[in-house]
Structure 1
Amino acid sequence: MKIKFLMMIAFFTGSIINAQDSLYTQSDKPGIIGFSPSKETKNVNGMLIKYYDEIDQEIKPKKVNGIGLGFNGLGIFFPVLFLVNITSIDNWEINDIGSNPLPDKMNKINGLQLSIVNMEPTVTNGLELSLSSNISAPSVTNGVAVSPLYNFHHTTKGMAISTLANVSQKCRGVQVALINVCKDSRGIQIGFWNQNEKRKFPLVNWNFKNKKS
């Protein structure tokens, strides 16, 4: 009798758990390894592997606590195209970095973003390493962004380091590159040529004052 009673309790408990699992969809469950694009990937506690970048209208935002790896082979051609047009400071327009970021429609990576080129709207909280970051994608980096070529961000809070250029709409911190451009800066620019909303200046440029309303 006791055995039958325990079996009934176990069956009832299992039914409740299964019912809860059916309400908690597979796409909502954090995985250790996720892939993108994928309808099944939404939250990842571990590693996200991107083999193709989704355009703004198609992107399904993902949250990653760990590492985001981007291996879109087509992206390697974009830095070369930008390199051909790096003839003057006028080539580095803020329009090239995309529109204003919308955090609820952007990927969020808490940890490390490592990619050839990132072309998806992304908020990176941590370290960003890429051949050329955030081309044609509004992006926010809270931490450090490093590239052997150039960094494109809508918002940089922390430090952006590259060989050729750093381009941002909003900067709070330090930019280090051959060319640095920022429309709304609070911090220091170090490079051969630096441009912010206050002045254009070689070697070292700065702005620590808030805009007057």
Structure 2
Amino acid sequence: MKIINVVMKKMAFAFIRKMQFVVILFFCGFSFAQENESKVTDTLVPSNSPIAIEDLDLHYFRWKSENNHRNDSIKIFSLSPISRRVNTVNGFALGVGHYENKKIKLQTINGLNVEASPLSIALFTISINVPFESFLVGINDNVISNVAFFDDVTKTYIKINGLNISSGGFTGGAEMRGMNVSIISGMNTMNGFSVGGILHTENFAGLSISGFANISESGNGIQIAPSNVSRRHNGIQIGLFNHSKNLRGVQFGIWNTNGKRKLPLINWQFKK
């Protein structure tokens, strides 16, 4: 029996040693496979290439910031002044008007903009000379330089594509493409049809009918008002007083001046 026990112990010891050896081999093989797998994935973005990882991050965040808006950046309806968190209104904007905000670069309205603006009352109360001087600007365009309302050119902060109806109007920094109905407006650009009391623009294209004056730095189209001024104008001016330093077109009025001549009733200029 002693001999049998000794043999059994030796066999058990040998079996244990074999199992330990198998376990060690299995563990080594598993670890080696894991290492190889990590190396394969690392070939997509090498571990020793931090520039590639940084570029991927930068491109991702740049894409997020440039091509994706916040959920509330586009609205169908908005009150005005529009919240600085809203970039675009596709539909209808209603309120008291739009005013320059340094935290807002540009906002766009595609559709209808309606304003109950106190601007017209303020201008006609505080600066009663605005309509009076605007009426005379067709005789002497230097007269309007004394009106503070028209002194500054403001960078565009609001664009409207569609219809604008206002009891007041803009004081600058606006671009309008469509139809404008307002008492008094100062815009950077007006393309389309405008009717109101006074329209002052840097660039005008279309038809403007005003009760007091049409004033533009550069115009293309038709101006109809008691007093019309466009320093560079291609088209027609119809009113009591018409003035254009650089005209390519015809003027109809009591007194008409352009770069060529000064005449009553009708005047024209087609060349320098």
> Which TM-score band applies after superposition, normalised by the shorter structure?
0.7 to 0.9
Aligned mate of 1:144, from 193, 215, 222: 193
Q: Tell me the residue number matched to 1:129.
A: 181
Counterparts of 1:188 and 1:206 in 2: how far apart (Å)?
A: 9
Instruction: Return the letter of the residue paired with 1:97.
Output: F
Is structure 2 residue 89 aligned with structure 1 residue 63?
no
Three-state SS of the structure 2 residue aligned to 1:76 is helix
Is structure 2 residue 160 aligned with structure 1 residue 109?
yes
Counterparts of 1:153 and 1:184 in 2: how far apart (Å)?
A: 12
Deviations 1:38-64 (A, max 9, x none): 223220111122424413756542111
Deviations 1:7-27 (A, max 9, x none): xxxxxxxxxxxxx9xx53034
Deviations 1:77-125 (A, max 9, x none): 21452124457334234985355575xx331111111112212411111
Q: State whether residues 228 and 239 of structure 2, in contact with CA within 8 Å, keep that contact through their aligned partners in structure 1.
A: yes
Counterparts of 1:49 and 1:201 in 2: how far apart (Å)?
A: 46
Return the index of the structure with the highest Cα Rg.
2
Is structure 2 residue 236 aligned with structure 1 residue 188?
yes
My pick for the range that moved more, 42-51 or 150-159, is: 42-51
Q: State whether residues 188 and 206 of structure 1, in contact with CA within 8 Å, keep that contact through their aligned partners in structure 2.
A: no
User: CA-atom RMSD, angstroms?
Assistant: 2.8
Deviations 1:137-171 (A, max 9, x none): x4211111111x22111111011111221110010
User: Structure 2: 5+ residue runs without aligned partners?
Assistant: 1-63, 247-257
The alignment of Structure 1 onto Structure 2 pairs a total of residues equal to: 182
Q: Tell me the residue number matched to 1:36.
A: 80
The CA deviation at 1:180 is 0.3
Q: Tell me the residue number matched to 1:162.
A: 210
Q: Return the structure number with greater helix share.
A: 2
The CA deviation at 1:204 is 4.3
My pick for the range that moved more, 124-133 or 44-53, is: 44-53
Three-state SS of the structure 1 residue aligned to 2:171 is coil
Is structure 2 residue 123 aligned with structure 1 residue 78?
yes
Counterparts of 1:87 and 1:68 in 2: how far apart (Å)?
A: 28
Counterparts of 1:45 and 1:177 in 2: how far apart (Å)?
A: 33
